[in-house]
Every structure is written in C-alpha cells, then in structure tokens.
Structure 1
Amino acid sequence: MFACKKSGYILSATIAIVALCACNKTHDPSPVPATSVKKWDVVLNAKFENPAPAGRTETGTATLELFSDNKITFTIGVTGLAGGDNLTSSHIHWGDPLTNGPIVLNFNKTYTNNAITGEATISKGLADSLVAGNSYVNVHSSNFPGGLLRGQLNNPVDFAIDVPLSGANEVPAVTTTATGLALLRLTADKNLYSRVTVTNIEANDTATVAHIHPGAAGANGGVLQGLCASKDDFGIIKITLLDDAKVTALKTAALYVNAHSKLRAAGIVRGQIR
C-alpha cells in the first residue's frame, strides 16, 4: 500500500512538472519583428553614368528598404528603354558620383517589363556601410554592359553633364590635335564632383589649368569656378563645395568649360555647358 502511495506521489509530481513546462512555453515571448532602418528612393538616369551613354535618355527609380534583421527589399523600374536594348542585371556598387566602383550586392533577378522586385539578406557590416557610405544602384543592359543608368543612394545627383572639349570651340578657334572631356556631377549637398581630361595634346605642350567660365558659345568670360589648379589635377576626381549663387549658375546660366595649356594660355580646348 505504501508503494502505491509513493507511485501516486511521483505521478502527481510528474504531471505538475509537465504542466508547469507547458505553461512556461505558452508564455515565451514572441520574436521581435524586424523594423525599418532606412529607406531609399533612388532616382536613376542614363546621364548619371560615367561617362553617360551617348544619345540615351532612360530614367528609372529604385526603392530600397533595409530592416533591422539585415534584410533589404528592392523594387527597380526603368522607363523609356530604347528599342533593341534589353536590361540584363542590376547591382549596388561602391563609389561616389564619378567613381565606377566594385559590386557589393547583386540583385540577382531577371527583368520583366523593365522591372524587378525582391529581397536579400546581407551582412551587418554591409548594412552599416550602405547606410553611411558612398554607393549607387547601377542597371546594366545588353547594349551597355558597363551600365545604362545609375543613381546614388545617400547623396543624390542634382545636375549632371558630360562636356566634350575641342579647340574648334575656342574663341578664336584653336588648331590642335588635343581633345578633352569634362564630367560634372553636382550633388544635393552642393558638392561639385568634376574630372577633366585632355588627350592627344601636342608633344611640346602641357595642360595647365581648367575652369568654368560664364559665356555663351562665341563669347569669352571670366573665371566662375576652378576645376584643375595644375597639370596634376587633370584626369582625377576633384570635389568642390559651391555656394548658392554658383549652384544656380551651374544649373541655369550660359557657361563653358575651358582647359588651358602652357602654349595656349587663353585656352586650348573648350565646351559649352549651355
């Protein structure tokens, strides 16, 4: 009889423990849902590429959202795609507005009706870098595998132009084998990213300085903004903070880029911004 009572005690205790465990399990806290860390509405444009693809005018948007669990969602759409071209891939790259940088995230989706949507899980380190760093979305196509249109995540481009430079545009015209290109990208924080290159210059001459000047085609004007202060500044990215008056002028006024040289101090190659 004592053995029966003992067994009953053990059974009751076991039932109580099981019930307690079940009770505790039902009161376990639910997982905390992921919250939004940052959302980007990225403006994409063919003229933001470096250099911009000649004659192309495609635009688009990329909506990205990063969550606290390091998941990133994306929706990308392109409008005005030229006939005979097809969108092939899209990525996030490192780089400021004038840098063509490495891929850090492949969206790995196939375009349907010139759009994709999806999500990916990334590392915490990459997530932190995307929030604070220089990066851009780049959309590639069969005709432009290096990139058809792009847009910065954190510091959007407000104004972009590629200015071909030629001696024929100088006033008066200059006969020279030299040609050039000025890439100008103005960002929302009023920083002007510029890179001026001069190639095929005569062997006995050297590019010295370059500026933005006020003036329509056929007219000469004073210096509005320096771009290259010495020969060593040609071919590299320069960043200059502009004041409001210069921002307005860059966006609206008749301006030109002029590159000067040792033998042609007044200008060797020039091109109009507008």
Structure 2
Amino acid sequence: MQKFAFTHKLFASAGLLGILMAGTSCEKDSDTNMPMADVVNFNNVQLSSQQEVPENSSNATGSYSIQYDKNSNQLAYTINYTGTTPTAMHFHKGEVGVAGGVEFEVAGPYTSGMKGTVKLTEAQEADLLASKLYLNMHSANFAAGELRGQAVTEDKVVLSNVKLSGKQEVPGNNSTATGTFNGIYDKTTKKIDYSIALNGLTASAMHLHKAAAGVNGDVVMEIMGLKGTTAAFTSAQETDLLSGNLYLNVHSAAQPGGEIRGQVVTDQKVVFASRLSGENEVAPTGSQATGNIYAVYDKSNKKLSYNIAYTGINPTAMHFHKGAAGTNGGVEMEVVGPYSSGMTGSVTLNATQEADLLKGLWYLNVHSAAFAGGEIRAQLVK
C-alpha cells in the first residue's frame, strides 16, 4: 500500500509539473509570436499634390508604407519621394479633403527611402485605423505642404479633390458654380464615405452616372446630402469606379440636366476639360467654330485619353502643342484622324511631356483649310 501511494504521488507530481511547464511554454509563445491580426499594414500609400488642401501645382511624387503593431502601439514607416526636397514631415489628423492639426513629427534627416518608428497614443491609434491620419511633406516652395497621402489600408481607395465644373458637362456650359468631391471607397463594404462642397449653386439633385469623360451616361445611384455614405456598389459598378468611368452630376433648377460635373478618379489620374475657340488662338481668328476637349491623364501608364467635340469647322489636322496660354509653341504630338465630332483616342507621353502637361503647358490646336495655322484652340488645364 505504501509503495502504491508513493508511486501515485510521483505520477501526480510529474503530471502537475508537465501542466505547469506547458502553461509556461504557451505564455512565452504568446509573448514572442504576435498574431498577425495585431499587425496592420498600410502598403504603398500614394503621396501627391492633388491631396493637399488646397491642391498645389507641384509635380513631385512619393509613397510610404506603414506597419502598425496594435500590441505595442508602435508605428514603423518607410517613405519614398522624388522631385522635392523636404524641410519637414508630419502626420496630421484630418479626413480626406480636410486640413488638420499636427499629431506627431517625422524626424529627419530626410532622404528618400528613410525609415523610422513612433509610438501612438490610443486616440491616435483609433484615428489611424479609421483612416483619419495623413502624412504631410513640407518644402521651401510649399511651406504648408507639398505632398500629402491619406493613411489607408489596401482595401480602401482615396478619391481626393475631384473638381466639379460646368465645363465638364456634355455639352459644357458657362456656369460659374464650382464644387469638390472627396471620399474613401471601401472594397470590403463596397461603399464610399464622402463629402461634397458646392459654391455658387443650390443642388436640386445629385447622382453618380456611368460614362467616361466627355460622354453622358445613365444614373448609377443617387447621392443623398453633402456628407454621408453611399449605397453599396455592385461588382460591375466597382469596376467602373476604379477605372474612372463614373462621374458625379449636380443638378439645379437652372440646369436640370446637370450644372456641374466631375469625373470621380484617384489622384493617379488628372482630368482636363477645356473649351475650343478662335479667341484662344494667337492671334485670334474670329472663327465662329467652337468645341470642347475632355481628357484624362493616367500617371501610372502615362496615357492621355481624349474626347474631342466641335461644330462649325472641318478639321484638316489636329495637334497637341507645347506652349502657355497666349503663346504659340511647337507640335508635341499629332491627333490622328479621321476627324469627327465626338472622336476619341489616346496618346502616350514621355516624362518631359508629362511634366509640361501637368504644368498647363499643353494646348490642342485644330487646323482647317481656312486657317492652316489653327482655327480653334484650347489650353489643357485642370
């Protein structure tokens, strides 16, 4: 009996020791192997002048990535840029389209590819995970901020500073009203959280329509109010949105078909809408012919897609020229025929041409037999 009791106690002690050791081992694992759900990655967040409030004319570019550890509240970043010399960098609190106060500094020295870490407060963590923080890169030329990028995860798409104007309507109108659309599209919920600012008109209705720049399209969904969340997009509607084939149309009592309009695109695309007229030629031609050019430039592939409409002219040639408004310049690229009103096409630019286009130094010149040097012209401006 005593031998049995001793053996029983020995096995019990060994079992208890095993349990304690297993418990210690599990606790260590939890400390050293952080669950992936506790790490949030913000990969390849784009920096652009278009996201600044207000937008500026810089052609510098950049991107950054963040790995945020929710256990330690540590944010690790890598920042890349080109075309600028930063004098300061900060993370600010503010939604897309809103300029906000500084939350914390990104310490120098500043070089492209720089890395660093910072520890967030609980409030800052909440703002980061709600897409309410942005990186602002300052420079001597743009002291308030040259490049900005909203910190969003890969399942979200920033739609920043979408400009609304009468010249983007088809046909374009002379309304002096303006507007801006800002939002974030969530690929998980398939909804846009948005805000809209309008100046010079009272909206009677607002809709998202399906069509490329320069084309009228059917209504996709109604937009209810100046700030809110859209209805969920279908997969097809999401594809149209992300390819730049949706536009916001703002209706009014004066212009029930639409007073101002804006193509809803990311900051990788730049929208141009300009009026063709003889008054824009140098010297003015006095021609009664008119027209419009609608164009979207895609920075990712350097392609300029255009839609050209006109009346009162039989073009013999069309070219994109380099020159500021009020000056004549050399041909940069031919617009290939055959020519007809509503014609579409695209051209691919080199780096120098891209820089000139984004500086407002390109114009479309439409030639005719009566005006071989150019009858009507339009400066490509944002």
Please indicate, yes or no, whether the TM-score normalized by the shorter chain is above 0.5.
yes
Give the equivalent residue in structure 2 for 1:13.
none
Aligned with residue 132 of structure 2, among 132, 135, 144: 135
SS in 1 for 2:66: strand
Residue 158 (structure 1) shift: 2.5
Aligned with residue 211 of structure 1, among 179, 203, 207: 207
Give the equivalent residue in structure 1 for 2:233.
242
**CA separation in 1, counterparts of 2:124 and 2:200?**
44
Residue 261 (structure 1) shift: 0.8
Give the equivalent residue in structure 1 for 2:64.
61
Does residue 259 of structure 1 match 2:250? Answer: yes
Cα gap change, 1:185 to 1:126, in 2 (>3 Å)? closer
Residue 141 (structure 1) shift: 1.8
8 A contact 1:43–1:151 mirrored in 2: no
Residue 51 (structure 1) shift: 5.6
Give the equivalent residue in structure 2 for 1:12.
none
8 A contact 1:66–1:127 mirrored in 2: no
Give the equivalent residue in structure 2 for 1:181.
180
TM-score, with length taken from structure 1: 0.67
8 A contact 1:213–1:258 mirrored in 2: yes
Residue 212 (structure 1) shift: 1.5
**CA separation in 1, counterparts of 2:162 and 2:70?**
40
**CA separation in 2, counterparts of 1:68 and 1:153?**
19
**CA separation in 2, counterparts of 1:207 and 1:152?**
31
Cα gap change, 1:211 to 1:88, in 2 (>3 Å)? farther
Give the equivalent residue in structure 2 for 1:224.
220
8 A contact 1:157–1:187 mirrored in 2: yes
**CA separation in 1, counterparts of 2:183 and 2:126?**
25
Q: CA RMSD in A?
A: 3.4
**CA separation in 2, counterparts of 1:51 and 1:246?**
29
Give the equivalent residue in structure 2 for 1:110.
108
Residue 147 (structure 1) shift: 5.7
More divergent stretch after superposition (260-269 vs 137-146): 137-146
Cα gap change, 1:163 to 1:127, in 2 (>3 Å)? closer
**CA separation in 2, counterparts of 1:262 and 1:78?**
48
Give the equivalent residue in structure 2 for 1:119.
117
8 A contact 1:35–1:67 mirrored in 2: no
8 A contact 2:51–2:161 mirrored in 1: no
**CA separation in 1, counterparts of 2:229 and 2:85?**
34
The sequence identity of aligned pairs, in percent, is 21
- Report how many residues are paired: 228
Specify the code of the residue in structure 2 equivalent to 1:193.
D
5+ long unaligned stretches in structure 2 = 1-27, 265-295, 297-382
5+ long unaligned stretches in structure 1 = 1-29
8 A contact 2:96–2:182 mirrored in 1: no
Cα gap change, 1:215 to 1:179, in 2 (>3 Å)? same
Does residue 74 of structure 1 match 2:76? Answer: yes
**CA separation in 2, counterparts of 1:98 and 1:91?**
17
Does residue 89 of structure 1 match 2:74? Answer: no
Higher relative contact order (CA 8 A, sep 6+): 1
**CA separation in 2, counterparts of 1:214 and 1:130?**
33
**CA separation in 2, counterparts of 1:75 and 1:44?**
11
Give the equivalent residue in structure 1 for 2:276.
none
8 A contact 1:74–1:119 mirrored in 2: yes
